[in-house]
């Protein structure tokens, strides 16, 4: 009896010992796998040059949100520092700095690089262009993103759309614009392909970064300007100098901003980290679009209180802008093969989309 009991107890000890050994080995394997997974994600510490001040609603604000969210999503394996305009490089030099690798990333707009790659303007906005839903559809399912990445990769840059904003205003003028004759001879800050439309109407245009517009307007270097939507334009103080504010922003019905990353730095990330950045930018697209819509009603109310004279272009002026736009886009397509390729892609998608837009949406 005692011998049987001893044998039984011995078997129990062997079993327990085996279980503890297996548990220990299991925990060791888990720790090894955890360490392996962690080691597959290199620690990233990037400097990001911004074209917009961090204090600027939506444009800069979203950049700060992005740096905070990517830190959280990545478990702090990706830390990106937002540098104010001119802290690392001037806003209009971000492209070259990211391309060369002298800075890791940029927070900007594809339209700023029109002088280098004219076709990139289609990836931020274009006159009489699509609303956000149609825009995203072309980019994600109509071949737009493939061309977007290809154009940048040739310059050692990887791009991701990371900002989306509401329709913009058409511009600030010191005097009322009653006819096209009132535009002739004006010096105006203007962005993107819309600038070429204005030039056809006798306006002398130039592209200025956001922080340079107010002093140029104040000093009379320019007579008029467009920049963004009401909430942002008020923040920049344009209403202190110009009294007449025009809508709608036919030149920017939707605007998209970008995160651009040195391609070598992008390729050095793990697949998990690349996915984390892409998903975070997807969230920023949604957040910035929702935010830019939500802040416009109080901004319009404030404009009224400040006595700003708000105007809507007449149907005749809108028709004239569109007529000149169609001339511009065909002329630019003849000059540049890449530009023509993107325009044809956009045009084909929008043509096929048009019937759905007419049937599915209220006018």
For the segment 60-66, the average pLDDT, to the nearest whole number, is 98
For the segment 125-142, the average pLDDT, to the nearest whole number, is 97
Q: What average pLDDT does the chain have?
A: 91
The reply to whether 49 and 131 lie within a common domain is: yes
The reply to whether 177 and 259 lie within a common domain is: no
The reply to whether 105 and 183 lie within a common domain is: no
Residue 156 above 90 pLDDT?
yes
pTM confidence score? 0.85
List helix spans (H) across the chain. Answer: 2-39, 59-73, 94-100, 132-141, 144-153, 194-200, 210-219, 230-235, 263-267, 271-294, 296-306, 315-335, 337-360
Whether 360 is in a domain gets the answer no
Measure the CA–CA gap between 232 and 250, rounded to whole angstroms: 17
Whether 159 is in a domain gets the answer yes
The reply to whether 200 and 317 lie within a common domain is: yes
Write out the residue range of the structural domain in which residue 325 sits: 171-251+310-337
The reply to whether 62 and 123 lie within a common domain is: yes
The reply to whether 143 and 85 lie within a common domain is: yes
The reply to whether 175 and 211 lie within a common domain is: yes
The reply to whether 323 and 185 lie within a common domain is: yes
CATH number of 187's domain? 3.40.190.10
Residue 4 above 60 pLDDT?
no
The reply to whether 141 and 238 lie within a common domain is: no
Q: In 3-state terms, what secondary structure has residue 247?
A: strand
Residue 25's pLDDT is what? 52
Domain tally for the chain? 2
The reply to whether 193 and 205 lie within a common domain is: yes
Tens of pLDDT, residues 254-293: 999 999 999 999 999 999 999 999 999 999 999 999 999 9
| Per-residue tokens: 156 | 């050692």
Q: In 3-state terms, what secondary structure has residue 258?
A: strand
Whether 289 is in a domain gets the answer yes
**Rg from Cα positions in the chain:** 27
């Amino acid at each position: 009896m005692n011998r049987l009991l001893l044998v039984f107890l011995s078997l129990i000890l062997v079993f327990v010992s085996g279980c503890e050994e297996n548990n220990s080995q299991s925990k060791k394997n888990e720790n090894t796998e955890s360490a392996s997974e962690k080691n597959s994600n290199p620690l990233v510490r990037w400097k990001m040059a911004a074209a917009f001040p961090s204090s600027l609603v939506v444009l800069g604000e979203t950049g700060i949100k992005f740096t905070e969210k990517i830190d959280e999503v990545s478990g702090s394996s990706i830390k990106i520092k937002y540098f104010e305009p001119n802290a690392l490089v001037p806003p209009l030099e971000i492209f070259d700095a990211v391309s060369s690798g002298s800075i890791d990333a940029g927070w900007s707009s594809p339209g700023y690089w029109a002088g280098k790659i004219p076709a990139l303007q289609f990836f931020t906005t274009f006159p009489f262009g699509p609303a956000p839903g149609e825009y995203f559809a072309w980019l994600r399912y109509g071949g737009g993103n493939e061309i977007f990445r290809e154009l940048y990769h040739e310059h050692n840059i990887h791009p991701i759309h990371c900002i989306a904003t509401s329709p913009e205003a058409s511009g600030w003028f010191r005097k009322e614009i009653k006819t096209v004759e009132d535009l002739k001879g004006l010096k105006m800050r203007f962005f993107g392909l819309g600038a070429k439309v204005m030039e056809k109407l006798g306006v002398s245009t130039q592209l200025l970064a956001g922080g340079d517009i107010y002093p140029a307007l104040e000093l009379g270097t320019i007579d008029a300007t467009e920049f963004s939507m009401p909430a942002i334009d008020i923040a920049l103080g344009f209403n202190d100098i110009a009294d007449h504010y025009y809508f709608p922003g036919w030149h920017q019905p939707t605007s998209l901003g970008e995160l651009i990353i040195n391609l070598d730095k992008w390729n050095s990330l793990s697949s998990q980290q690349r996915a984390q950045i892409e998903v975070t930018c997807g969230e920023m697209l949604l957040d910035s679009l929702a935010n830019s819509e939500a802040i416009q009603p109080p901004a319009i109310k404030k404009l009224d209180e400040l006595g700003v004279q708000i105007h809507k272009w007449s149907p005749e002026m809108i028709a004239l802008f569109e007529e000149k736009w169609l001339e511009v886009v065909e002329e630019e397509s003849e000059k540049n093969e890449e530009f023509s390729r993107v325009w044809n892609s956009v045009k084909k998608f929008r043509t096929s989309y048009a019937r759905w837009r007419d049937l599915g949406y209220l006018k």
